[in-house]
A = this chain, B = another copy of it.
Amino acid sequence: MSPAKRSPASPARSRSNDPEGMRNRILDAAFDAFVTRGYHATAMNDIRDLAGVSGGAFAHHFPSKKQLGLAVLKERVADAVTQSWIAPVQQAATPKEGIRTVMTAIIDELSARAKVTGCPLNNLAHELSGGDRDFQVACAAVFDRWQQGIAEALMRDGTAYEAAEAGRLAGFVIASYSGAMAMAKSRQDVGALCDCRAMMDRMIP
C-alpha cells in the first residue's frame, strides 16, 4: 500500500474517536447557549459552530433539537442545581446557614460578572414547560429533586420538621429565590436577590 493512502486532506494527524467527549462538548455549548440566549433563539448552527463539531457528528449524537434540549435539561441543568444548591445546603452546618451561603455565593458571582443571566432551570422551564409535554416533565423533575434536596436538609437539622412542613418550606425557599432571580435578570441588578436573602434569614427558624 502506498504511504499517502490514509487522509486526503490532513496527512499526519490520525483521528481518534472520543464519542463521550464530543457529546460533552456539544452539551456544554448547548447548555450555555440555551440558558443565556434561550432555546428557540438559538439555532442548531450556532451550537454546532460553538462546539466546533461537524454536522455529521452533531446529527449522530443529537438527531433532533428536542433531544438535545432534553439532554441539556437532564444532564446539565439538573447537575447545575445539584452543585450550586442541593449539595452546598446539605453539607452546611445548618440548612439556614447553607441557604444563606448559597445565596451569597450566587450574588457575589453575579456581581463579579457583567450580566445577570438568570437561573438555568427557570429560564428553560418558562420557555419550554408550557409547550411540549416532555420538556414540562423534565423541568418538573428538576424542580422536584431541588425541593426534595432542600427539604431533606431541613429535616436533618436540629429544628425538627415534619416531612410535609419541610417540603412546603423548601418549596417556598426555591420559589422565592427563583422569583427574585427573575427580577434580578429583568433589572440587571442583584438587589432583589439581596432582599430575598434578608427575608429568608427572618423566615427560616
Q: Interface range on chain A: under 10, 10 to 19, 20 to 34, or 35 or more?
A: 35 or more
Task: Out of B131, B143, B168, B183, name the residue touching A174 (CB < 8 Å).
Answer: B183
Is there an interface contact between A130 and B143, defined as CB atoms closer than 8 Å?
A: no
- CB-based nearest B residue for A168: B195
Task: Out of B37, B129, B168, B192, name the residue touching A186 (CB < 8 Å).
Answer: B129
A94 at the interface (CB under 8 A from B): no
Is there an interface contact between B178 and A182, defined as CB atoms closer than 8 Å?
A: yes
Task: State in angstroms the CA–CA spacing of A67 and B126 once bound together.
Answer: 22
Which B residues are CB-close (under 8 A) to A139?
186
A148 at the interface (CB under 8 A from B): no
Which of A38, A198, A203 has the most chain B CB within a 10 Å cutoff?
Answer: A38
Closest Cβ of chain B to A68, distance in Å, is 16
Q: A38-B40, A126-B126, A179-B179 are in contact. Are A186 and B136 (CB under 8 A)?
A: yes
Task: Out of B136, B177, B195, name the residue touching A179 (CB < 8 Å).
Answer: B177
- CB-based nearest B residue for A200: B172
A134 at the interface (CB under 8 A from B): no
Interface string of A158-197 (1 = CB under 8 A from B): 0000000000110110111111101101111000100110
Interface string of A35-54 (1 = CB under 8 A from B): 01110110000000000000
